[in-house]
Chain A
Amino acid sequence: AQSVTQLDSHVSVSEGTPVLLRCNYSSSYSPSLFWYVQHPNKGLQLLLKYTSAATLVKGINGFEAEFKKSETSFHLTKPSAHMSDAAEYFCVVSDLGGNQFYFGTGTSLTVIP
């Protein structure tokens, strides 16, 4: 069975400092992994995805994530936080057929000016 665990429900950073949002996954095969962002009262938007190509994945708005099979992790990072990054972030794993998606519980990112 597939699942993801987001290790922090809330993360607070100062503007201009690095962002780290942690995600561990569980999968019985090589997974497809995604990070989505949700701004208040909006739908979710894809930040980046890993589908067994390069282990370091670059996404939109300066975000990137590294797939580490040995640690079963897919942490999201950004070198310098911007006020507009304040949002809810979801780590997601899909099943083998790509038909069903399993969402983490989300990490709320606060950016302090």
Chain B
Amino acid sequence: KAGVTQTPRYLIKTRGQQVTLSCSPISGHRSVSWYQQTPGQGLQFLFEYFSETQRNKGNFPGRFSGRQFSNSRSEMNVSTLELGDSALYLCASSSDAVGTATTGELFFGEGSRLTVL
């Protein structure tokens, strides 16, 4: 079973640009969540999507947005990039099936490392 796939793995942008990151969840998983990881702030929750609807949202400015497609793939977009947006962006998928061995477990991709110059 293929794991969570994130693309691109590495990218470099300059201030003011925008970026789109992609996440393909494990087959059958309908929940996709996004996290920002930085040395100073640790892991911070961005948002979570379930069946194309944003179900939860963290405390990030409106420059950070996301969406989920009917095949559960998700994208996140950051507009007007700032130096502080440099981070590892992690995507995780989970199953909504109750009572399975992996209920409630998050499966993470390897992340997209964004550098803003």
Contacts and interface: CB of A to CB of B under 8 A. Distances in A.
Interface of A: 32, 34, 36, 41-46, 49, 51, 90, 92, 94, 98-103, 105-106
A99 B42 contact: no
Interface string B65-93: 00000000000000000000000001010
B103 A98 contact: yes
Interface residues of B, number: 24
6 contacts: A34-B106, A44-B106, A51-B104, A98-B103, A99-B55, A102-B45
A43 B109 contact: yes
Given A43-B4, A43-B109, A106 B48 contact: no
A32 to B, nearest CB: 5
Nearest to A46: B105
Contacts of B4: 43
B90 A44 contact: yes
B22 interface: no
A70 B64 CA distance: 40
A98 B104 CA distance: 6
A46 B106 contact: yes
Contacts of B50: 99
Given A90-B43, A106-B43, A101 B106 contact: yes
A32 B13 CA distance: 38
Contact of B111 (A43, A49, A99, A100): A43
B114 to A, nearest CB: 13
Contacts of A99: 31, 48, 50, 55-56
The list of the 10 closest CB pairs from A to B, nearest first, reads A43-B108, A98-B104, A103-B43, A44-B108, A43-B110, A105-B42, A100-B56, A43-B109, A32-B104, A46-B105
